[in-house]
Structures are given as C-alpha cells and as structure tokens.
Structure 1
Amino acid sequence: MAKIGWIGLGNMGNPMSKNLLKAGHEVTVWNRTKAKADEILAEGAKWADTPKEIAETCDFIFTMVADGPTLQSVTLGENGVVAGLSSSKIVIDMSTVSPEESIKVNDAIEAKECKFLRAPVTGSTVLAQNATLGILTSGDRAAYDKALPLFEAMGKNQFYLGGSEEARVLKLSLNVMIGVTSQMMAEAVVLAEKAGLDVAQVCEVMAGSAVGSPLVGYKKALVSSGDYKAAFSVKLMMKDFDLAFAAAKQYDVAMPVTAVTRQALQAAAATGRGDKDFSVLTQVLEDQCGYKRP
C-alpha cells in the first residue's frame, strides 16, 4: 500500500483518485474547493489543509489541475508541494501544461532531491471512471518504474516516452488531433444535414465507417442530440491549442489546419459556448451556414 497525495479533484481528478483508493492505497487529498472532496472523503480518503501538508505526509504526490499557472501555484507557492518535500519523494503531474511551465516545476523538485514525472492522460471522464485511461509519462525511469503500479490502477495503456518533457509535447499533439477531428466532423455533419439527411443516422454511419474512431464514437450522442454538456470544454481546448502553438514555435513546426480550427473554437467562445463541450463546433457551423435543425 502506497501513501498517496492527490491535488485537484475536478472532472478527471475525482474519479482517478477514487481508483487509487479502490486499489487499496492510502489517499490524502486537497482541493481549492473542499466541497469537491466530500465524495472521496466519504469513501475513506483523508483531507490535508494545504499541498505542503500532502508533500510532508505522502511518498507519491499527484497533481491534476486545470493549467500551468495553477500547477505552479500548488507546487511552488508558499504552502505548495515543494515547500513540504523531503528527499526521495516522487511528484507526478497529470495535467496538460506547456513544457516551459513543466521545466520550472521539475527544477524546483529536483533541488529538493526528489523526482518529477510528467504523466498527462488521454481519454474522457468515462475512461477515468472506468480506470481505462492512457497515461503518457516522461521523467526519471527509476521513478516511473516505482509509480507504474499506481498508473495501472488508473489506466489501461501505459507509455514511457523519455527522460524529459516528451510526454507534454505528445499530449499537446494528441489534443490538436482531437480538436481538428471535431472540426472535420462538424463540416461533414452540416453538409449532410443541409442535404436532408438525418443527423443521428449520419453520426452512426460515421462512427461505423473507415473514418470512425473512439472520439467519433464518444461524441456522436452529443452531436446527434445537440446537447453539448462539457466533458472537455471549448475553453480548455483553446488553452491546449495555444500551448501547442507555443511548442510549434519552439520546434519550428507549421500547423495551418490547427490554426483554422483554433479560429472555430474562438467563434464558439465568442458566441457564448466557451463552457460547452468542444464538439459544439458542429452547432457553431450550423449557425454560420444558416441551418436550423427541425
């Protein structure tokens, strides 16, 4: 049984931390809004008053937060993780942040003679609940080997990618593909709709065709119903696209299709859809093309 600390109990962090608890580990949690911890506390987790306290009492410290500034706040702040570290502990960040932000956190953790693993995930909230996520990891290999049983309690597919920021770059690359796929799906759906086809049937055919993918399968119900309750919001996807553009600048890579999709996401946010699921790009295009569903 490992002594695990978990920071960040949002849509993904909540079920992921619960899976560690179900696997028999001792889990101590912290979240900026304590009420979000009520469920896992009722299931047997412990509460810490600060991230620093978690680092003082736990051997593995996980963070799963919204963005880079939040990661730096919970790790590098006065009552952050780094302030509570003693040697040989392992800090694991599962958020989606930039390589540049990640390096700052790594350097501070390494200075305390501890190890930092970058372990962003692939998959939806449903996969998080079912412990079938994909986990992309880079950092110290020996630390990865120690943490692997914990990753296996949360995810079906494990990938060790290298000793530095490789996992960050690949995660951003995957999110770019996800966003661009959603825009492609939007264009195909609206074309079919305007030609008189039934949207539900269109989505079923897409999901079962050569262009089908797990993503299309996940999103077909939202697109068919027009109810875009967020599993992953437009705002979060915009954030990840912007991080991908920064990485592309660093590595001298052109991303023209990504740029077009980023503008579509901006249109979604500008029309009051920023908190909707990013698959709302279909609805945005329907509006732009003057199409109203019957």
Structure 2
Amino acid sequence: MRIGFIGLGNVGGKLSGSLLRNGYDLTVHDLNAELVAGAVAKGATAGTTPRAMMADCDIVITCLPHPKISAAVVEGDDGLLQAMTTGKIWLEMSTTDEAEVKRLGAKVQAAGGAAVDCPVSGGCHRADTGNISIFAGCDRATFERVLSVLTTMGRRVLHTGALGSASVLKVVTNYLATANLISCSEALTVAKGAGMDLGVAYEAIKMSSGTSFVHETESQVILNGSRDISFTMDLVLKDIGLFQEVADRAGVPLEMNPLMVQIFKDGIERYGARELSPNIIRRLEDATGLRVTAPGFPAEMRDDEPEAVGHEVVPNRG
C-alpha cells in the first residue's frame, strides 16, 4: 500500500514517522523543505504536488493547521481531487470543521474515492511513539480498509460513525482539554499564592478527584517553566472556535466556552498567536507577580509506554 502524507508539523511529522518506522511506502510533502528532508533521510520519498501524490498513492493523509489549508490541498488546481479515482482514499487527520470535511468528502466520493476524518488525541509525545488515540468517521467498509494504517499510527482507534462525526468528537475533547488547562492554571496559581509547596500541590491534585490527563501532562511543563507542549495559543483558539460552531449549529447555549474564547484572545493579544498554549498561565502570573514553577518537573513530555500494535476500541452498547 502506497501512502502519501501532507503536513509534517508537530503532529504530522510524528504520525508519518510511525508509518516509516513500521515499513510503509511513504511519500511526503510540506512547505517546509527541512521537514521533508528529515523524512526523506528516514526513508520517505519527497512528493511534489497533492495531485501527483494522489495519482501515485492508494491513500493520501492530510494533517494541516487550518480547514482553509485542507480545502486548498483537496480542491485546488493541483489538489487531490484532480487525481481522485475509484478505490483511492483521503484521510483527513487535521482538527477541522465537521461541515467542511463533509463538503470536501462529498466531492471525493463523487469522484469515486472514499473520505475519512480521523483526528488524533493524546498529545504530541504519544503521537511520537504510535500510542496516540485516533477517531475515525466514515462508513464501516472504508474503516476496515484503513484500520491497519490507523493502528500503526495509534494505540486506540474508535470508529465514531459517519464522515464528520470524528471531527465533532475531536473538538468536544479539545474543549474539555482547554477547560482543564485553564482550571489547572488557576489552581496552581492559587496554591502558589496560598504558600503551598507546588510539588506537593501537584501530587495532591494528581491523587485526587481533581486530576485529569491535562494536569498529569501540561501541569508538569507549566511547573518546569518551559511550558512546552508543542501546541500554541492560535491552535487552541481555532479548536474552541470550532467547538462553538458545533454548539451553535446544535442550538446549545454555552456559558464556559465563550469565556474561554475571550481568555485565549486576550492571551494572544498579550503574548502572540504562536505562544505556547500552557503559557496562558502568564496572565495570572502577570496579574499577581507570582512565578508558578517548581523543581523536579520535565521540560517536555515523553511517552514511556512501549510502542505496540494498536487496536479498535469497541463502545459499550449495553
């Protein structure tokens, strides 16, 4: 099976690395020539255009920072659609808009191909080891065709339903992660202001009902001071903006998410769009004069779980 991979950023570079590490015939493309060269050094072939990659490959994966970029790659003059034929598959691994992936997917299907939205969740450190979680939205027959590819890139793979369903669930989970990040920032700053030992505070939260995946990962790089989780404030704002769009289409009036949008807009105005997302705590540090750091925490997260073949997660239906 020949696979093309477009987008070698923080997530895409790691996902494509898992395919290379496990022997797939991989062609790659990115606007950053250094990222392409790095993948070629590991055994990939450098691609030219999305159209040429779709012509040469059975599956083309996109992992890009914004829905508008994905649209250009799919339906542009040299886009995937120009070479889409029966039997070929487009895997959209970007965090994207449900309505947009359905729109593009319909064009892919009209050309005889198949489309899957399959965003990932679990952090870049787990993408690097093939242990990240993957959602996949598509018909069941297509899911079974791509399952072996997905279980190479991820440890847990969930078939979420029809095309677009994975994108809805991805922004739901990113909304929750953002809420956790803001609440962890507030909790740690209050602990610091109250004179608590932050190493003790971290463990107290971790062993309590207040713990979360975000606390057990991002709180560590916050306390280290690096705040490096390989994710930036503009991407957070995009994700919770997409969640707001899903809520608006569903007619659900939200209270927390609009406030979170304002918090991250303020963070971007203060520190810049490409500021690392855990540095949202700087708003509180600046307001209080406190420095929320502690010794003994890592500068970046690493996945200590050995790489293993992934598997499908089957929902409990009673």
TM-score class, shorter-chain normalisation, is over 0.9
Please give the alpha-carbon distance, in whole angstroms, between the structure 1 residues aligned to 2:288 and 2:131: 38
User: Counterpart in 1 of 2:118?
Assistant: 119
* Higher RCO (Cα < 8 Å, 6 or more apart): 2
Give 1:207's aligned residue: 206
> Helix, strand or coil for the counterpart of 1:153?
helix
Q: Separation in 2 of the partners of 1:159 and 1:16?
A: 17
Report if the CA contact (8 A) 1:228-1:276 is conserved: no
Alignment of 1:209-224 (within 5 A): 209-224=208-223
Q: State the AA in 2 paired with 1:40.
A: A
The secondary structure found in structure 1 opposite 2:23 is coil
- Counterpart mapping for 1:198-277 below 5 A: 198-277=197-276
Give, in angstroms, the shift of residue 195 of structure 1: 0.9
Aligned to 2:23: 24
- 1:222 & 1:267 partners in 2: Cα distance? 21
Counterpart residue identity of residue 3, structure 1? R
CA contact (8 A) 2:218 2:227 kept: no
> Hey, what's the Cα distance between the residues in 2 that align with 1:14 and 1:4?
14
Mean Cα deviation higher: 111-120 or 262-271: 262-271
Structure 2: unaligned runs, 5 residues or longer: 294-318
SS of the equivalent of 1:134 reads strand
Q: CA deviation at 1:85?
A: 1.5
Match of 1:88 in 2: 87
**Deviation digits for residues 230-284 of structure 1 (CA, Å, limit 9, x no counterpart):** 4211110001111111111100112211222222111211111432322222221
Q: Residue 128 of structure 2: SS of its match in structure 1? A: helix
The amino acid of 1:75's aligned partner reads V
Q: In the aligned structure 2, how far is the partner of 1:138 from the partner of 1:10?
A: 23
SS in 1 for 2:271: coil
Q: Distance in 1 between matches of 2:291 and 2:37?
A: 42
Contact 1:189 1:199 in 2 (8 A): yes
Residue in 2 aligned with 1:60? Answer: 59
Could you say if the C-alpha distance between residues 207 and 9 of structure 1 is closer, same or farther in structure 2, counting changes exceeding 3 Å?
Answer: same
Unaligned 5+ runs, structure 1: none
Change (3 A) 1:11 1:292: closer
Report how far residue 70 of structure 1 moved. 0.4
1:5 aligns with 2:4: yes
Mapping for residues 127-206 of structure 1, pairs under 5 Å: 127-206=126-205
Partner residue, 1:42 = 41
**Which deviates more from structure 2 when the two are superposed, residues 170-179 or residues 274-283?**
274-283
In the alignment, is the contact (CA less than 8 A) between 1:273 and 1:280 conserved in 2? no
User: TM-score scaled to structure 2, two decimals?
Assistant: 0.88
Secondary structure at 2:158's aligned position in 1?
strand
Give the CA RMSD over aligned residues: 1.5
**Aligned-partner SS, 1:231:** coil
> Could you tell me which amino acid in structure 1 is paired with residue 241 of structure 2?
D
Q: Is the Cα contact below 8 Å between 1:207 and 1:220 reproduced in 2?
A: no
- Tell me which amino acid in the other structure corresponds to 2:151: E
Distance 2:201 2:280 in 1: 16
SS in 1 for 2:239: helix
Query: How many residue pairs end up in the alignment?
Result: 293
Provide the TM-score with structure 1 as the length reference. Answer: 0.95
CA 1:199–1:274: 2 relative to 1, 3 Å: farther
Amino acid at match of 2:105: N
